[in-house]
Amino acid sequence: MSIILEIIVFLPLIAAIAIGLGAPARFSALGTAAITLLLTLIVAVRFDTNVEGSFQFASSRTLLDMEGFPTLSLAFGIDGISLVLLLLATLVMLAAVLVSPQEREIKGSSKLYYLSLLLIGGGAIGAFTATDLFFLYAFHELALIPTFLMIGIFGHGENRVRTAWTITIYLGIGSLILLVGLIMAVFALGGSTFAIADLIALAKSPETGIATEQQTWIFAFLLVGFGILVSLFPFHSWAAPAYAEAPAPVAMLHAGVLKKFGLYGLIRIAMPLAPEGMAAWLNVILVLLLGNIIYIGLVTVAQKKLDRMLGYSSVMHMGYVFLGLAAMNQLGVSGAVLLMFAHGVSIALLFGLCGWIREKYNTVHFEELGGIASHLPKLGLLFAFAAFASAGLPGFANFAAEVSVFFGAFKDTAESLGWLQWTTIIALWGVVISAVYMLRAFRSLFMGPPMEKMASPDELTMKERLPHFLLLATLIAVGFVPELLNQFIRPAVEGLFLLTAG
């Protein structure tokens, strides 16, 4: 039994408790985030890429073994998919702590601020590494509570409390629908265990697998539940206001990391347990993902504030991940996982820079800013790279991921194009839309003459540039060498399809 994953999961939670009891807030949070990332890198180095379809670094402690009730275990483990998302979570958590204000600059309880960041990050880490369905769900719910508090207490704008309640209601309903779907799946498979590996083994067996009609209903509940958490069209309206009014570190963690839980759940649970159910709803998924890419893309172009634009951009790009999942082949799903990582890093970078601009200029309205690059060229260069990455320019991780998604959609093309291929052709226009709103934002903020009567702040210090350099370097490294992550993703996805096919 390996305990390194347990250390990675519980270290942020223990540090959050310590901060609440009086430990130095920023120092404890920063040290914890750095150690957690270091331990995750050690796990990545020691990870065996030749293993397919099984969890490594596994640990399990039975908590409840009662007749008539599913066996409950505090169990953790990772395959290549969860390892990549674990790397994403620990990397963004460190960057979010680094961009957070000093304790004396926080209006309110600095302890609550920093322990909330650790709880959000720790909850995401626990959800990505839990191999017991109960704790996978519980860790995600744990991360949502401090998210609501941070938006309502430390958020921006007069509507932050209303926004906090809106996101609470939306995600609460999504979690309840998801819970119904999970319970249906567990009891359709005998109701004897919450262990994900055991549930998948039961699902692939002809004797114990779920009937097609049941799969259709179970997948519908899982799709709606996970879809609300992911901001799948038309369940997207909570996301952009929440990210716009949240503190920058919270927007980085939620948009960059926590929102990937819904996509991870579809890959880890819905697809293996109900593959025929997914096939039954495939055309509906294709229509909905086009809503994310085309409709939300046009809404993004119309935004007049940077934070709102980034919020809608994040919603839009979820459509590409769903397109990779809809391909239902190894290339498409591998591209979707890589895109989850690339989008998480790039949107965290953009929200971090947006937070710096808001703090220094006290506004993120395009009409109230302009010409920033003339006196802050380093900020302009950083934002340009982040915008290019988000738009999918070659040389960044987003490009490698999106190409894999598009190729995956055409991989199994017959003599004539099907609904998936036509959907992909339409979705390609989203690349143009992304370029339009990102270049428009860069032009409005950084080009042209400086705005009159606008005080010019000092350039970013090295300490302020460090978290953004960390995220940008990751995007470039993975963009030039996608095999850095694909070596983990590929065998995990191959194992997933072996399990799905039975």
Tens digit of each residue's pLDDT (9 = 90 or more) over 140-199:
999 888 988 888 888 887 788 888 888 888 888 989 999 999 999 888 888 788 888 888
User: How large is the average pLDDT for residues 372-394?
Assistant: 88
Is the pLDDT score of 10 beyond 90?
Answer: yes
Is the pLDDT score of 347 beyond 80?
Answer: yes
Is the pLDDT score of 94 beyond 90?
Answer: yes
Query: CA-CA distance, 258 to 230, in Å (whole number)?
Result: 9
User: How large is the average pLDDT for residues 98-123?
Assistant: 88
Please give the C-alpha separations between residue 204 and each of 168, 280, 483, in angstroms, as whole numbers.
36, 18, 30
Peptide bond into 234 cis (omega under 30): yes
Query: What DSSP designation does 68 have?
Result: T
Within 10 Å of residue 380's Cβ, how many Cβ atoms? 18
Residues 6+ apart with CB under 8 A from 4: 39, 42, 43, 57
Coil/strand/helix, residue 466: helix
Name the token pair of 54: 């099984």
**Cα 93 from chain centroid?**
12
Residues 6+ apart with CB under 8 A from 267: 81, 325, 333, 336, 337, 496
Q: With 0-12 CB in 10 A as exposed, 13-18 as middle and 19+ as buried, what is 69?
A: exposed
Please, are residues 430 and 301 in contact by the beta-carbon 8 Å criterion?
A: no
Q: What is the 3-state secondary structure (H, E, C) of 359-371?
A: HHHCCCEHHHCCC
Quick: pLDDT tens for 281-318: 999 999 999 999 999 999 999 999 998 999 999 999 99
Residues 6+ apart with CB under 8 A from 144: 123, 171, 175, 258
Query: CA-CA distance, 91 to 168, in Å (whole number)?
Result: 26
Query: CA-CA distance, 465 to 248, in Å (whole number)?
Result: 15
Q: What is the DSSP string of 225-266?
A: HHHHHHT-TTS-TTHHHHHHHS-HHHHHHIIIIITHHHHHHI
Please, are residues 94 and 34 in contact by the beta-carbon 8 Å criterion?
A: yes
Res 452: pLDDT:
65
Res 1: pLDDT:
56
User: How large is the average pLDDT for residues 434-457?
Assistant: 80
Q: What is the DSSP string of 368-427?
A: G---GGGT-HHHHHHHHHHHHHHTT-TTSHHHHHHHHHHHHHHTT--SS--HHHHHHHHH
User: How large is the average pLDDT for residues 115-140?
Assistant: 92
Taking only Cα atoms into account, the Rg of the chain, rounded to an integer number of angstroms, comes to 22
Query: CA-CA distance, 13 to 117, in Å (whole number)?
Result: 10
Q: Which of 3-12, 203-212, 450-459 is the most confident on average?
A: 3-12
User: How large is the average pLDDT for residues 479-496?
Assistant: 89
Instruction: For residue 453, name the pLDDT band (cuts at 50, 70, 90).
Output: low
Is the pLDDT score of 502 beyond 50?
Answer: no
Coil/strand/helix, residue 305: strand
Is the pLDDT score of 460 beyond 80?
Answer: no
Coil/strand/helix, residue 134: helix
**pLDDT top residue among 3 and 207:** 3
Average pLDDT, the chain: 87
Res 498: pLDDT:
59
Query: CA-CA distance, 434 to 169, in Å (whole number)?
Result: 30
Q: Which residues of 169-185 are buried (b: 16+ CB within 10 A; e: fewer)?
A: ebbeebbebbeebbebb
Coil/strand/helix, residue 10: helix
Within 10 Å of residue 415's Cβ, how many Cβ atoms? 4
Res 118: pLDDT:
94
Q: What percent of the chain has pLDDT over 70?
A: 96
